[in-house]
A = this chain, B = another copy of it.
Amino acid sequence: MRAAIIAVGSEMLGISKVDTNSLEVTRHLEQWGVGLVRKSVIGDHAADLAHELRSAFDGCDVVVVMGGLGPTEDDVTKEVVSGTLGIRLREEPEVLARMLSLFEKRGYTMPETNRKQALVFEGHGYLPNPRGTAPGFHLEFDWSGRRRHLWIFPGVPNELHGMLEADFGPWLQTLGLSRRFWRTLRIVGMPESLADEKLKAFYEKYRETPVTILASRGELSLHFYSTGPEDAAWARLLAMEGAVREALGDRVYGTGDDTLELVVGRMLVARGESVATAESCTGGLLAGRITDVAGSSQWFLGGVVAYSGDVKTSMVGVDPAHIQQHGEVSEEVARDLATGARRRFGASWGIGVTGIAGPDGGSEAKPVGTVHVAVASRDHVEHRKLYFAGGRENVRRFATNAALDLLRRGLGVVVGL
């Protein structure tokens, strides 16, 4: 079963609004095993919507249209469907009566234009809309010799949600397709292409299973799903997870909605330990990510944003000789920042970050994107030199990933956990 979603409304073709209704429809489709093949947004124009409908019917068994059921001239969905499928519209007295009484209750006379909301498809039922005036529809018909299902819902989110729960979900369930179960693995410290290379055997082994790898903000996430009876589906997902972990080792840092800061926080809490930060190029973003975690005050003591050399020395205790000899962006200064953060805040662990985020400040020896991170514990300082491309925002974000990951490794990642 292949599905398409069409959102109708010119306002979603502007510069500020995107369609989000489709996520709710997708949730229903996925849960009951129907694959979403495409989704689209079309303005309030009859010819464009007609073209879009035909294109969707050509390739999809289930087509969901949202919006364009209002009372204004812009609302053309029913007329277009009527024309495309050759099904006439008629006024439904029950719908009209309910609308009239709704208006009366609110103390208005119903404008004549609203009558069009009472039009329904001849020879087909309609779906009541207890939260609004526009009914929805489920039309079943043949298209080029194949059975098609067209669902039409209002675009008003809470009306849509109600009808998805009441009508669409139960119908999907009756299709008796196999349910879908998801697993997500979170990966840090390797580019997408390297992960792909290491996962070749995995892809080969599970070639029939759709696996998506997604790069976002310097991290990767790997999504895969399984269908069938719940027990067997989960057994398969866990076997797949095992194969990924075998290939990628401790680059896999979490599952589901895990973030690096959450994972590091959990490890610190488990050990009864704490961390403090001293940041230069990341300028507070590292502390900001850590304190995004609710309850982080339990394990995060504080941080210093040390942009200038003077501040690095006065506030964190960086050795001025290190700055003079090696520069502010150097292994030595990163180590001093980590050690200094740990000592000044009295934390179990200290993180130091220094680098050149750009766009200016780079040199041949230290180009923009050069970053040093260090993590200090009582008796050891671990350091990494990194180089990130992609502009100031990326360099800063990726540097916080590297710093959190280095701490995670210091805390003792258990491979395969």
Q: Are B307 and A297 in contact (CB under 8 A)?
A: yes
Question: Is A362 interfacial (CB-CB < 8 Å)?
Answer: no
| Copy total for this chain | 2
Q: A13-B36, A16-B214, A51-B58 are in contact. Are A193 and B71 (CB under 8 A)?
A: yes
Q: Which of A198-227 contact B (CB under 8 A)?
A: 203, 210, 212-215, 223
Q: Are B30 and A23 in contact (CB under 8 A)?
A: no
Question: Is A151 interfacial (CB-CB < 8 Å)?
Answer: no
Q: Are A284 and B294 in contact (CB under 8 A)?
A: no
Q: A196-B71, A305-B304, A307-B291 are in contact. Are A13 and B26 (CB under 8 A)?
A: yes
A 298-312 to B, binary, CB cutoff 8 A, 1 in contact else 0: 001111111110110
Contacts of A84 in B (CB 8 A): none
Which of A135-143, A318-326, A384-392 sits within the interface? Answer: A384-392
A-side interface residues, number (CB < 8 Å): 107
Which of A85-93, A104-112, A119-127 sits within the interface? Answer: A104-112
Bound complex: CA A106 to CA B391 (Å): 15
The answer, among B44, B193, B223, B283, for a CB contact under 8 Å with A287, is: B283
The answer, among B36, B287, B294, for a CB contact under 8 Å with A305, is: B287
Question: Is A258 interfacial (CB-CB < 8 Å)?
Answer: no
Question: Is A365 interfacial (CB-CB < 8 Å)?
Answer: no
Contacts of A358 in B (CB 8 A): 294
Q: Are B27 and A38 in contact (CB under 8 A)?
A: no
Q: Are B114 and A193 in contact (CB under 8 A)?
A: yes
Contacts of A229 in B (CB 8 A): none
Contacts of A26 in B (CB 8 A): 13-15
Q: Are A197 and B41 in contact (CB under 8 A)?
A: no
A 241-263 to B, binary, CB cutoff 8 A, 1 in contact else 0: 00000000000000000000000
Question: Is A417 interfacial (CB-CB < 8 Å)?
Answer: no
Q: Are A108 and B194 in contact (CB under 8 A)?
A: yes
A 52-66 to B, binary, CB cutoff 8 A, 1 in contact else 0: 100100110000000
Bound complex: CA A296 to CA B210 (Å): 45
Bound complex: CA A273 to CA B412 (Å): 45
Q: Are A18 and B18 in contact (CB under 8 A)?
A: yes
The answer, among B38, B284, B288, for a CB contact under 8 Å with A41, is: B38
- Can you show 21 pairs from A to B with CB atoms below 8 A apart? A13-B26, A13-B36, A13-B39, A14-B223, A16-B223, A18-B19, A37-B45, A37-B48, A38-B43, A38-B48, A39-B40, A48-B59, A71-B192, A71-B193, A111-B193, A283-B290, A284-B291, A297-B307, A304-B305, A315-B344, A315-B345
Binding site for B on A (CB under 8 A): 10-11, 13-16, 18-20, 22-23, 26-27, 30, 36-45, 48, 51-52, 55, 58-59, 70-74, 102, 105-108, 110-114, 131-132, 156, 158-159, 191-194, 196-197, 203, 210, 212-215, 223, 277, 279, 281-288, 290-292, 294-297, 300-308, 310-311, 314-315, 344-346, 358-360, 387, 389-394, 396
